[in-house]
């Protein structure tokens, strides 16, 4: 079973100095994103297997970065490492836009092991590849949420939900939105199959990086238990 963490952002605009200045106005977004990447992909001394991170950025042109645990190189768990890689990737995207040398669905590699392409909907390429999947969409408790779907509390039966779907599916998607985006448009490929979607609300004192860590702890334990059967 493969895990795919999808992080959605309206834009990702920062400079190298923002990685070094603790009170930078852009530090909260890149800092949160870096922690999400670290908690998704890193074990204590290695990288998780069969795990993909997708970072979808809507502006200036919709594009996506793909990081796979078995191919990424020179990625460390600290902010400066992931931030520098993303900065390099964003610079490559902007150069393609400025030179008008870009087209949808064509992959390029701005960093060893990180792939990028211009793409309107972040899940299209995955949905076409798998027969069985389940999508978990996370949102903060009390915030507006556009979907007419039942929502579960993060601490109410999450472990049972994760294990049940991990046992039945080829792929699990975990979607986190860092900003105001049209989720109905971006997630259109899965919204037509509501039985494959679970929305999860997070209490205000639980942030996305913490939630990702808990998800992985549950699934890591589940995978270890399966090996002993």
In the block, residue with structure tokens 């992080």: 7
- Half-sphere exposure of residue 83: CA atoms within 13 angstroms, side-chain side: 21
Most confident of 22-26, 138-142, 152-156, 167-171: 167-171
| Fold that domain 2-228 belongs to in CATH | Alpha/beta knot (3.40.1280)
What proportion of the chain, given as a percentage, has pLDDT over 70?
89
pLDDT tens column, 93-122 = 988 888 876 666 688 898 888 999 998 877
pLDDT tens digits for 154-177?
Answer: 777 889 999 999 999 999 999 999
Q: Where are the chain's structural domains? A: 2-228
The residues that bridge with 136 in the sheet, in sequence order, are: 174, 198
Secondary structure of residue 36 in the 3-state scheme:
helix
CA distances from 97 to 88, 92, 118 (A): 15, 9, 10
Q: What is the crossing angle of helices 79-99 and 27-41, to 10°?
A: 110
Tell how many helices (H) and how many strands (E) occur in the chain: 7, 9
pTM over 0.85: yes
Q: How many CB atoms lie within 10 A of CB 59?
A: 11
Q: How far apart are the first and last CA of the chain?
A: 16
Q: What is the pLDDT of residues 66-80, one digit of tens each?
A: 998 888 887 887 888
- Answer whether 206's CB lies under 8 Å from 140's CB: no
How many Å apart are CA 174 and CA 43, to the nearest integer? 18
The conformation of residue 195, written as its DSSP 8-state character, comes to G
Q: How confident is the model at residue 226 (pLDDT cuts 50, 70, 90)?
A: confident
β-strand partners of 172: 3, 134
Q: Are 48 and 2 in contact (CB under 8 A)?
A: no
């Amino acid at each position: 079973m493969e895990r795919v963490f999808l992080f959605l952002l309206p834009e990702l605009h920062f400079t190298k100095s923002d990685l070094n200045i603790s009170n930078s106005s852009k530090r909260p977004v890149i800092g949160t994103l870096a922690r999400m990447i670290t908690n998704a992909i890193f074990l204590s001394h290695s990288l998780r297997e069969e795990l993909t991170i997708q970072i979808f950025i809507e502006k200036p042109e919709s594009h996506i970065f793909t990081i796979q645990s078995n191919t990424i190189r020179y990625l460390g768990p600290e902010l400066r490492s992931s931030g520098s890689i993303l900065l390099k990737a964003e610079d490559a995207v902007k150069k393609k836009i400025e030179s008008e040398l870009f087209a949808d669905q064509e992959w390029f590699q701005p960093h060893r092991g990180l792939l990028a392409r211009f793409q309107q909907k972040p899940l299209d390429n995955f949905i076409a590849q798998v027969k069985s999947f389940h999508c978990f969409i996370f949102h903060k408790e009390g915030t507006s949420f556009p979907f007419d779907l039942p929502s579960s509390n993060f601490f109410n039966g999450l472990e049972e939900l994760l294990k049940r779907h991990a046992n039945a599916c080829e792929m699990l998607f975990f979607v986190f939105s860092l900003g105001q985006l049209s989720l109905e448009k971006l997630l259109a490929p899965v919204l037509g199959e509501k039985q494959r979607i679970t929305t999860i609300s997070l209490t205000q004192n639980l942030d996305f990086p913490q939630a990702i860590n808990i998800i992985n702890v549950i699934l890591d334990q589940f995978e270890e238990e399966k090996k002993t059967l």
